[in-house]
């Protein structure tokens, strides 16, 4: 299979998923090399002219007024990487690490950073040979980008730091050697170009977003299955209701529900029951799930742009020969979107938990107490709701926005930071919680449908119910439910 070619212009969220999770190969696009080389030539000309350029012939942050002589400029880049590699905690996941490497390579491939092409080639080699730098999970404030995490990545390029290779955690130089790679000597501007930018927070956020877009589809299915088990009405999903409040997510969700519930014998059996309205967690699925869909669409648009954005500083413009210092490294645009993602997923956690409560509580349903035939002797799925409540409480804490918690850094030179890394990590964690809550809802809804047999649910719900029952049997008597949960956890 041909590798994904990086040029800083065309990388997609689907590409990122394939490289991060499925180890698809990458390479610098040959068509991008002239632009990369042209930007490097600008740096070389500036060095020869002894021009004062931030991070190239000066120190960093509050030390930007210190001029660095020619003899020390390579050491300046090496020292920058070493001094900034002070991340804390356990390593981020392998997929997140690969996504971070990919995005750094793609940013540099855009041709505004002033690095040599061989720096990008080595980043691609790390991906293609599965050399994964150890990047700690804490220590970034998201401006000037993800300095500490990206410094740990850059350390491996110079043969230092640590990396995982073929299941072993090794010194960076040894990991390169075993993979048949050689470390690189960083030249002027290259250390700064490697660590300046939003690639870490965007990588984590992009993977969280990709998962969230899958989870919202599963939430529709879980909601439809619960509605069937609770004998809810399909009237609120009528196309005419959505047309007069035309939010795209609401329309899409109602369309999904109509298709999932089509030809339902369960629905047909109670269509004349006399109930006027269901609870909000059944009746308002289009509005709530739809609102989440709209939030995901906004986040998708923002993150997709950032995949191909030049987030380095300073940026080099070969056409004019200018080197401009600005703030493209600041994570705030993406951080806000990821806070929105966390907020949307956190609300969805609570919405699903309320359906679980309705399923297990006999005062709110027409089903056996806690979905077990001999309740009292057996507790059934009582603790499924308790576990979900615990997860919802955690999600609510995590949904608190990170972007309002700026703490000035670097001698107050960086006096407002994005906290975008935290926003990304929290969004990913809430996604994990939502996946577990939806799994609990599927367990409960399938158990509820068992009590309505031989009536068959809608054409979209039935195959999911049957799939669950192939892996998890009906709960006749109490048993540990952890194994059941693991079989369907997404």
- What is the Cα–Cα distance from 426 to 345, expressed in whole angstroms? 10
- What is the Cα–Cα distance from 236 to 240, expressed in whole angstroms? 9
Is 165 a catalytic site residue?
A: no
- What is the Cα–Cα distance from 410 to 143, expressed in whole angstroms? 10
At 237, list the tokens.
Answer: 């999903």
Taking only Cα atoms into account, the Rg of the chain, rounded to an integer number of angstroms, comes to 26
At 8, list the tokens.
Answer: 């800083």
**Residues with a known catalytic role:** 54
């Amino acid at each position: 299979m041909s590798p994904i070619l990086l040029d800083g212009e065309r990388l997609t969220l689907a590409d990122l998923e394939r490289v991060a999770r499925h180890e698809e190969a990458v390479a610098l696009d040959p068509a991008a090399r002239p632009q990369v080389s042209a930007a490097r030539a600008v740096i070389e000309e500036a060095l020869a002219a002894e021009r004062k350029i931030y991070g190239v012939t000066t120190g960093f942050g509050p030390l930007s007024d210190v001029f660095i002589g020619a003899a020390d400029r390579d050491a300046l880049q090496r020292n920058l990487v070493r001094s900034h590699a002070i991340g804390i905690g356990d390593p981020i996941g392998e997929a997140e690490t690969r996504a971070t490497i990919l995005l750094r390579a793609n940013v540099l491939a855009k041709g505004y950073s002033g690095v040599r092409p061989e720096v990008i080639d080595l980043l691609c080699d790390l991906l293609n040979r599965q050399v994964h730098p150890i990047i700690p999970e804490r220590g970034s404030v998201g401006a000037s980008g993800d300095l500490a995490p990206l410094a740990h990545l850059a350390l491996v390029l110079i043969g230092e730091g640590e990396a995982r290779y073929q299941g072993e955690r090794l010194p960076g130089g040894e990991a390169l050697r075993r993979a048949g790679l050689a470390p690189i000597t960083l030249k002027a501007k290259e250390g700064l170009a490697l660590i300046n930018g939003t690639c870490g927070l965007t990588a984590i956020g992009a993977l969280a977003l990709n998962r969230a877009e899958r989870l919202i589809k599963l939430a529709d299915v879980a909601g439809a299955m619960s509605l069937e088990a609770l004998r809810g009405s399909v009237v609120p999903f009528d196309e005419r209701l959505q047309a007069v409040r035309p939010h795209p997510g609401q329309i899409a969700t109602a369309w999904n529900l109509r298709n999932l519930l089509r030809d339902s014998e369960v629905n047909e059996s109670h269509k004349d029951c006399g109930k006027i309205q269901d609870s909000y967690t059944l009746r308002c699925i289009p509005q709530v799930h739809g609102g989440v869909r709209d939030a995901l669409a906004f986040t998708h648009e923002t993150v997709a742009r950032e995949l191909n954005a030049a987030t380095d500083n300073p940026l080099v413009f070969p056409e004019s020969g200018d080197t401009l210092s600005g703030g493209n490294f600041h994570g705030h645009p993406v951080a806000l979107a990821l806070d929105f993602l966390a907020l949307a997923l956190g609300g969805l956690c609570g919405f699903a938990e309320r359906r679980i409560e309705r399923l297990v509580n006999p005062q709110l349903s027409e089903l056996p107490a806690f979905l077990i035939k001999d309740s009292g002797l057996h507790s059934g799925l009582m603790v499924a709701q308790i576990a979900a409540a615990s997860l919802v409480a955690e999600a609510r804490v995590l949904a608190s926005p990170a972007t309002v918690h700026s703490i000035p850094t670097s001698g107050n030179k960086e006096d407002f930071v994005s906290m975008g890394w935290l926003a990304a990590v929290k969004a990913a964690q809430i996604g994990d919680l939502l996946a577990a809550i939806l799994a609990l809802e599927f367990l409960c809804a399938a158990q509820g449908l068992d009590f309505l047999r031989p009536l068959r649910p809608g054409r979209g719900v039935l195959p999911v119910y049957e799939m669950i029952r192939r892996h998890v049997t009906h709960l006749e008597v109490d048993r540990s439910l952890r194994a059941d949960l693991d079989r369907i956890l997404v």
